[in-house]
Amino acid sequence: MTKKIRFYDTTVSKPRPIKPAKGKLGILLPGMGAVASTFIAGVLSTRKGLGKPIGSLTQMGAIRLGKRTDHHNPKIKDFVPLADLNDIVFGGWDIFPDNMYQAACKAGVLEHAHLAPLRQELEKIKPMKAVFDSNYVSRISGPNVKKGSSKMDLAQQLMADIQQFKKTNKCDRIVIVWCGSTEKFQTAAPVHQSWAAFERGLQESSPEISPSQIYAYAAIKCGVPFANGAPNLSVDIPAIQDLAIKHHVPISGKDFKTGQTFMKTVLAPAFKARLLGMNGWFSANILGNRDGEVLDDPEAFKTKEESKLSVLDSILQPDVYPELYGNVDHRVRIVYYPPRGDNKEGWDNIDIFGWMGYPMQIKVNFLCRDSILAAPIVLDLALFMDLAQRSAMHGIQEWLSFYFKSPMAAPGLHPEHDLFIQLMKLKNTLRWLRGEELITHLGIEYYD
């Protein structure tokens, strides 16, 4: 018997009306370290005309409408009603009490010359006490942590934080984007299978419920969209997905696609498009920031490893192309190296083969700045998740796969990892929302 697929994304044939982006949008970030402080500083810098939001599709991207001969390519932010950068208010939670200026200085991503004009505004943004469990993140600890009688109590404290932040800052809407640490590897347990079981687990402080799951639960109960920027098991469990549908909330995840995996989703589709075979892909990374320290724990690394390893199988389809990709040796290594700080370096050795089986190699050395690549993703996810909420798009937002290493899809569907298909899916969703014709790139009409 064929298993029925449950679709959490919008499946209506016609788009629903989009509510206007009136008033203030609060962006709350669990985890206010390097990524969060870089993101916030970048938005403030853009507001002041001191920098540009490079890397942000919502701010700098264009979208083609109609035929190529129409030459109609408006900016995405002019095509769909997104929140204006001047209407954004920032907040969040962290285990360290540092304000965003202090956090940015400690992270060492941005230079003093770029932080100095923003200091006053950054110092006003201070993290709320965080939900933290050393059983899930063992390599770091901090004093700014909530205490509660149960995990349900902690969830209710988070809900109170959300409501108070919204009231204090006079926000009309809130979105939450997880920017916190990678938690230890988890597989779904019975407590994750339904929202009723999950709520019992919260009341009983089940050890199977992680901090990121508590944040996701609190957000959805408050009607707040939640995007998961880490490889944690958080919104990709039936309990949270069912709750998101019940409360009409969009969810998305997981794990920001920034450096090495971004390159894989560019290169692997090219190899498959040209039907070049592959024997192996070896990836190594050195990283020295807080994320690198957390990933020095084998349990946390396994969570990240699973996220990174999922990419190639999905793109290369070894079951469809067994002669080309049926025996790929794919390995990933991450080494914590403090001197490197946020400037991650990724090495890739790719062993491919071509005509008559002759071997070839490709070497990639990507010296990237992790938080610089992640910051525009945080902005786009926040604005697009808010758009989804105002467009009555509930549950899994597969059209936002473009931003994730391990994109979510409805049960029974394999996730799409090809960056170019992901971008086409995203832009076609925006066209669909505005009642525009979808672009197939067929082009045969020009030659009839």
Tens digits of per-residue pLDDT, 198-230? Answer: 999 999 999 999 999 999 999 999 999 999 999
What six digits make up the tokens of 445? 């009409």
Residue 4 has pLDDT above 70, yes or no: no
The pLDDT, as a whole number, for residue 8 is: 39
Neighbours of 157 (CB within 10 A): 18
The pLDDT, as a whole number, for residue 6 is: 39
Neighbours of 447 (CB within 10 A): 5
- Name residues whose C-beta falls within 8 Å of residue 76's C-beta, 6 or more positions apart in sequence: 57, 58, 61, 62, 63, 82, 430
165-194 average pLDDT score? 96
The alpha-helical segments, DSSP class H, found in 191-340 are: 195-203, 211-221, 238-246, 260-273, 290-294, 298-316, 322-325
E strand spans, 75-124:
88-94
Query: Could you tell me if 93 and 154 are in contact, meaning their C-beta atoms sit under 8 angstroms apart?
Result: no
3-8 average pLDDT score? 38
Sheet holding 329-336, edge to edge: 329-336, 277-287, 345-353, 359-367
Residue in 433, 347, 337 with CA at minimum distance from that of residue 384? 433
Q: In this predicted model, what pLDDT tens digit does every residue of 348-364 receive, in sequence order? A: 999 999 999 999 999 99
Main-chain phi, psi angles of 88, to 5 degrees: -95, 140
Cα dihedral sign, 111-114-117-121: negative
% of the chain residues with pLDDT over 70: 95
Q: In this predicted model, what pLDDT tens digit does every residue of 161-170 receive, in sequence order? A: 999 999 999 9
Residue 398 has pLDDT above 90, yes or no: yes
274-289 average pLDDT score? 92
The pLDDT, as a whole number, for residue 442 is: 86
The DSSP string of 111-142 is -HHHHGGGHHHHHT--PEEBP--TTT--S---
Residue 327 has pLDDT above 50, yes or no: yes
% of the chain residues with pLDDT over 90: 81
**Which segment of 96-105, 177-186, 333-342 scores lowest on mean pLDDT?**
333-342
Cα(6)–Cα(408) distance, integer angstroms: 13
235-255 average pLDDT score? 96
395: enclosing H helix or E strand = strand 395-396
438-448 average pLDDT score? 86
The pLDDT, as a whole number, for residue 307 is: 65
The pLDDT, as a whole number, for residue 5 is: 37
Amino acid at 13: S
Q: How far apart are the first and last CA of the chain?
A: 45
Residue 2 has pLDDT above 60, yes or no: no
230-251 average pLDDT score? 96
CA triple 89-90-92, angle to 5 deg: 140
Residue 384 has pLDDT above 70, yes or no: yes
